[in-house]
């Protein structure tokens, strides 16, 4: 029988044939796809014709098409619906794919051809996009060790394979810790919890084949529990389990993996001539250097810490008023911050959530995209990768733009967090190809028959990930290597963080924030109080993020630590970390940094992008309309459709006319400048 992963895909919009794919299909599909890719790349490297853009750089664009197609299906399934077979194959594939990548990018004959095209690019009559592709392709080869020889080249290959295996192990260990921990709750333990959270805890128990109610380590479950449970003992137990992920001392302990990963990254950077891994990673980013990153982080750290210390003092007073004479602990913060928010802004999350149903917030995100960019969304009835997932065709006028998939609920076997990925990216080279884009979240699953209700932070996460999706949906470049989110790490968060701003636009809430039961609109007074409270607890939120970003930077500068947890503690002591706040991600569960290299030495990028997103939304405010057509057109032309077709500084300046300063960010977070 023909392997469905390798046969032509005749589902609507050439979607993967999910219903026909079995786990046993993946290994032979990868074997065939790798063989095909090797043959195509060997033909490019051995081409007797003189190297030029078409026969070398453009040819590489489509050389691995089948491999990309198979990998797109497999790795999306492995992240959203892991099982033992998929995890075993992922462990096997990680070093094999890393070895293949080194085989391609360290191929002397292929590198010689790419270098020749690079040297002749200015005189070759290439378009600006083609020259950009040449530049980035050559840079990719250099940063992957193409210029290394002899023992150094061999060691570089070994490092790549080992780091791929370590990243996979880190992610799988973290998933196992999150999947395997569950705290059964007695009826008395539910006192004080909102009804929707009680329903979620019942759904979590049912999902695990248990009676009653179960607390899990899904963020969308444990954070509401920490926010609402009056049981300090249970809050402490849940918090300690949540922050101990990856550090349990058994087979899933990630501490040794993190230490080895840091040592190997430092060695990789030295082989390439960089003084540190941070210097290596930041060289092609907007920030450019570790010093530039530190300067931004520390400029915000001072006012953020001052704000957090004031918040801690206010929460401590509430703690003592409850007759608890000890200090404010990390498992107390969210509970008393919610109480303070109710007192100061007359906002109760239980009052807000019924107006923020998942259905309403999806409709709101689609409506904003329609008003800004003329997009429409038509539901599709097609087989998908999981029963939870849903699909829409995205159109503009009579043109098909993309297929958008949403997979929003937490479940066992699903990686924690929220992200955007693709099953297929956009390109025009080799024929018009429109993207298939996936948004993944981990919202709490409601009880059977009940609507899914989101917190304000959940709704912001939905808008954030949809901003990433728009970067893919509106992508309009010739070459897939440049498409969508294939941009500098500290630029990639600009579209996502910018889109969050529309959640707070009164017209959006007035139209879409409707009570899940009655359909009544959110009262204007509640809406205004909700927006006014946007910076409640902003000191806490900024400090927990900045602490992780500063630790990440320290991990990747200088001598790699033998004990990352000890170095993390030293960094936190050095910056004066408030004792009632812990970093958003401790080293043993810092998946951004250790489950691959995606955000390694790059966790700062959310703040770097926020400098731009605050300034970018100000362009709409200056136009007097959050849906100003001319500003939206500039945003699409220079940011959302442009991918990596030019340097990010040039793209942003083309949209805004200049680069921004940090002032808009500080204003947006309600922080004054440091003294």
- Which residues are part of the catalytic machinery? 465
CB atoms within 10 A of CB 297: 22
Burial class (CB in 10 A: 0-12, 13-18, 19+), 576: exposed
Q: Tell me which residue of 262, 275, 284 sits closest to 143, measured CA to CA.
A: 284
Work out the number of other CB atoms within 10 angstroms of the CB of residue 84.
9
The CA R_g of the chain, rounded to the nearest whole Å, is: 25
CA dist list (Å): 452 to 216, 567, 597: 17, 41, 34
Residue 55 sits at φ, ψ, to 5 deg, of -85, -5
Closest of 294, 271, 298 to residue 282, by C-alpha: 294
**Helical H segments across 624-647, by residue range:** 629-635
Phi, psi of 443, rounded to the nearest 5 degrees: -70, 155
- Yes or no: say if 331 and 239 are a contact pair by the CB < 8 Å rule: yes
3-state helix, strand, coil in the chain (%, to 5): 60, 10, 30
Backbone angle region of 245, left / alpha / beta, with phi > 0 → left and psi within -120 to 50 → alpha: beta
Longest Cα separation, the chain: 83
Q: In a 3-state reduction of DSSP, which class is residue 396?
A: strand
Q: Kindly tell me the burial class for residue 250, based on how many C-beta atoms sit within 10 Å of its own C-beta (0-12, 13-18, 19 or more).
A: exposed
How far apart are alpha carbons 111 and 104 in whole angstroms? 9
Q: 3-class SS at 419?
A: strand
Dist CA 114 CA 137 (whole Å): 8
Query: CA-CA distance, 589 to 255, in Å (whole number)?
Result: 9
Per DSSP (E only), the strands in 534-637 are: none
- Give the distance, in angstroms, between the CA of residue 428 and the centroid of all CA atoms in the same chain: 26
């Amino acid at each position: 029988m023909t392997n469905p992963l390798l046969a032509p895909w005749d589902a609507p919009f050439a979607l993967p044939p999910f219903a026909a794919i079995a786990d046993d299909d993946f290994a032979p599909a990868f074997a065939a796809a790798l063989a095909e890719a090797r043959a195509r790349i060997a033909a490019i490297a051995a081409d007797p014709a003189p190297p030029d853009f078409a026969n070398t750089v453009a040819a590489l664009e489509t050389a691995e098409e089948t491999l990309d197609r198979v990998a797109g299906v497999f790795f999306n399934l492995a992240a959203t619906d892991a099982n033992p077979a998929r995890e075993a194959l992922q462990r096997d594939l990680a070093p094999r794919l890393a070895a293949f990548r080194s085989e391609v990018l360290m191929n002397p004959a292929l590198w010689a051809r790419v270098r020749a095209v690079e040297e002749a690019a200015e005189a070759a009559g290439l378009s600006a996009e083609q020259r950009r592709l040449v530049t980035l392709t050559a840079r990719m080869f250099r940063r992957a060790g193409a210029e290394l020889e002899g023992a150094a080249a061999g060691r570089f290959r070994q490092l790549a394979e080992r780091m791929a295996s370590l990243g996979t192990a880190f992610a799988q260990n973290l998933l196992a810790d999150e999947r395997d921990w569950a705290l059964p709750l007695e009826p008395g333990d539910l006192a004080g919890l909102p009804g929707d959270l009680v329903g979620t805890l019942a759904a979590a128990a049912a999902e695990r084949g248990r009676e009653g109610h179960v607390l899990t380590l899904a963020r969308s479950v444990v954070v509401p529990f920490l926010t609402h449970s009056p049981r300090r003992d249970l809050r402490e137990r849940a918090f300690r389990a949540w922050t101990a992920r990856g550090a349990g001392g058994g087979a899933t302990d990630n501490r040794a993996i993190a230490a080895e990963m840091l040592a190997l990254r430092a060695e990789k950077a030295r082989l390439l001539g960089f003084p540190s891994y941070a210097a290596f990673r930041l060289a092609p980013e907007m920030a450019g250097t570790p010093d530039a990153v530190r300067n931004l982080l520390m400029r915000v750290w001072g006012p953020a810490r001052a704000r957090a210390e004031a918040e801690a003092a206010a929460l401590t007073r509430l703690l003592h008023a409850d007759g608890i004479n000890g200090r404010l602990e990390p498992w107390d913060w969210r509970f008393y911050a919610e109480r303070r928010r109710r007192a100061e802004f007359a906002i109760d999350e239980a009052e807000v959530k019924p107006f923020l149903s998942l259905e309403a917030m999806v409709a709101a995100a689609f409506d904003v995209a329609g008003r800004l960019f003329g997009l429409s969304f038509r539901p599709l009835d097609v087989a998908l990768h999981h029963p939870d997932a849903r699909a829409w065709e995205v159109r503009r006028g009579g043109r098909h733009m993309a297929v958008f998939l949403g997979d929003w609920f937490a479940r066992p076997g699903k990686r924690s967090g929220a992200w955007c990925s693709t099953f297929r990216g956009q390109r025009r080279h080799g024929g018009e190809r429109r993207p298939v884009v996936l948004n993944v979240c981990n919202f709490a699953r409601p009880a059977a028959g009940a609507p899914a209700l989101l917190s304000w932070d959940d709704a912001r996460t939905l808008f954030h990930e949809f901003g990433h999706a728009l970067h893919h949906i509106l992508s309009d470049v010739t070459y897939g290597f440049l498409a969508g989110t294939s941009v500098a790490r500290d630029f990639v968060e600009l579209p996502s963080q910018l889109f969050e701003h529309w959640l707070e636009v009164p017209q959006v809430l007035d139209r879409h924030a409707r009570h899940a039961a009655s359909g009544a609109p959110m009262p204007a007074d509640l809406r205004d109080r909700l927006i006014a409270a946007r910076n409640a607890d902003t000191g806490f939120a900024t400090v927990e993020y900045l602490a992780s970003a500063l630790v990440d930077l320290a991990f990747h500068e200088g001598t790699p630590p033998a004990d990352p947890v000890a170095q993390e503690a030293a960094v936190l002591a050095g910056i004066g970390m408030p004792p009632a706040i812990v970093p958003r991600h401790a080293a043993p569960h810092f998946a951004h940094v250790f489950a691959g290299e995606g955000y390694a030495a790059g966790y700062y990028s959310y703040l770097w992008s926020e400098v731009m997103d605050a300034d970018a939304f100000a362009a709409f405010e200056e136009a007097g309309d959050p849906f100003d057509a001319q500003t939206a057109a500039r945003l699409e032309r220079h940011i959302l459709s442009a991918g990596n077709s030019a340097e990010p500084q040039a793209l942003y300046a083309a949209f805004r006319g200049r680069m921004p300063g940090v002032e808009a960010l500080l204003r947006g977070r309600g922080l004054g400048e440091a003294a």
